[in-house]
Amino acid sequence: MAEQFAELNPPPRLLMGPGPVDVDPRVLRALSMPMLGQFDPAFTGYMNETMELYRRVYQTRNRWTFLIDATARGGIEGLLVSLIAPGDKVLVPVFGRFGHLLAEIAARCRAEVVTVARDWGTVFAPDEIEDAVRRHRPKVLALVHGDTSTTMAQPLAGIGEICRRHDAILYVDATATLGGMEVAVDDWKLDAVSAGLQKCLSGPPGSAPVTFNERVVEIVQARKHIEAGIRPDDAVAENGPVIQSNYFDLAMLMDYWSEARLNHHTEATPMLYAARECARIALAEGLEARFARHRLASTALTAGLATMGLTLFGDQKNKMPNVTGVEIPDGVDGERVRAIMLNDFGIEIGTSFGPLRGRIWRIGTMGYVCRKENVLACLGALEVALRQCGFRTKPVSGVDAALAVYREAEA
């Protein structure tokens, strides 16, 4: 007889790495709602509501604000492959792993890619970016907002103006920041932005909310090729270089998400329900309140870590409020600490990549997970794990220090 596998029963975990994080139970409930046909008026109504909800989350009036059915990387690919024609110049300022990802995706779109780099743990000053734009004259500047690999957030205010001055399109990867810190798309003149659900929005991975403005629409529409079989008789002339991907073709996705409702892929119904609920919850809390909650957790967590005698990683002025990098002390086996936290406390924290591999842990306080009790539980577990691995923490407990921050905020 064929082997019978047990019913799924994942171990309970508190996910405090750099993402994914625990899914809000309200989003889990939304995922289990009944299926609808994708052209059912009830469903297209949900599609329109989802567009409006993400306009608010992105703080934009962009008509074109919708979901790409893929993880966050699919959102990046959709925007870049639709913007970049072979031979276009793309400038990527790299300050962590995800800058390299943008450069890699742009290269696969056969762009002429130019990178400028900074040490991991730092970010670019606007002047440095303007110098690079002036020197290289890119069609697209592709920039990561919060790079989870280093826990740094690149300030974006002023970068949009730089791009307008030099006639470049500004693409931003806000996967790790949307819903956790300000992403003011219109005020900051960000032309195209993508994100995912599995970080500060506390949803499952698999849906990428994107938004883009008329500067992007103009480029994309000039490359519009509607596939045979669904092409209306009065379709526009096909004169631009074809977008290299069918799945990620923004021009066809726009027809799918507009009143035209031109068939493209089959919408991932449960993911749309989840994305809609993620945005609804974020807006019901209020963006400002949500950002403040993330900042408070960061202050409490960093106070606790410092009190334990640990060193925080990177330029603290530009630290993301939702992920904290902490140096693994000399002589401590970082993987053993993580294993104790996972196996004895059920808490997952992150390791890192590239030059930071084995040098830092990354602790996420995102979305639904970003709560006092989780910050305290994580610090308590880390303190015990560190002691077990031979590290002498200071006599004052990090948990007490973090709790003191909360008490003061609550007073």
Ligand X SMILES: Cc1ncc(COP(=O)(O)O)c(C=O)c1O
> Is 353 near ligand X (CB under 6 A)?
no
Between 82 and 154, name the residue whose CB sits nearer to ligand X: 154
> Is 72 near ligand X (CB under 6 A)?
yes
Packing angle of the helix pair 72-83, 214-221 (nearest 10 deg): 60
Residue 274 neighbours by CB distance under 10 Å = 29
Among 19, 93, 99, 179, binds ligand X (CB under 6 A): 19
CB of 352 to ligand X, least distance (A): 12
Between 153 and 168, name the residue whose CB sits nearer to ligand X: 153
Among 144, 272, 347, 379, binds ligand X (CB under 6 A): 144
CB of 327 to ligand X, least distance (A): 20
Between 148 and 211, name the residue whose CB sits nearer to ligand X: 148
CB of 375 to ligand X, least distance (A): 21
* 136-153 CB burial, b ≥16 within 10 A, e <16: bebbbbbbbbbbbbbbbb
Among 57, 109, 176, 310, binds ligand X (CB under 6 A): 176
> Is 202 near ligand X (CB under 6 A)?
no
> Is 268 near ligand X (CB under 6 A)?
no
| Binding segment (CB under 6 A) for ligand X, from list 173-181, 210-218, 297-305, 343-351 | 173-181
Helix/strand/coil for 112: strand
CB of 96 to ligand X, least distance (A): 8
* β-bridge pairing 192-194 and 169-173: parallel
> Is 205 near ligand X (CB under 6 A)?
yes
* DSSP result, 236-302: PP--SPPPS-STT-HHHHHHHHSTT----SPP-HHHHHHHHHHHHHHHHH-HHHHHHHHHHHHHHHH
Q: How many residues line the site for ligand X (CB under 6 A)?
A: 13
Among 71, 150, 269, 352, binds ligand X (CB under 6 A): 71
Q: E strand or H helix at 69, and its extent?
A: none
Residue 91 neighbours by CB distance under 10 Å = 26
CB of 245 to ligand X, least distance (A): 15
* β-bridge pairing 208-212 and 64-68: antiparallel
Rule CB under 6 A: which residues touch ligand X?
A: 19, 71-73, 98, 144, 147-148, 173, 175-176, 196, 205
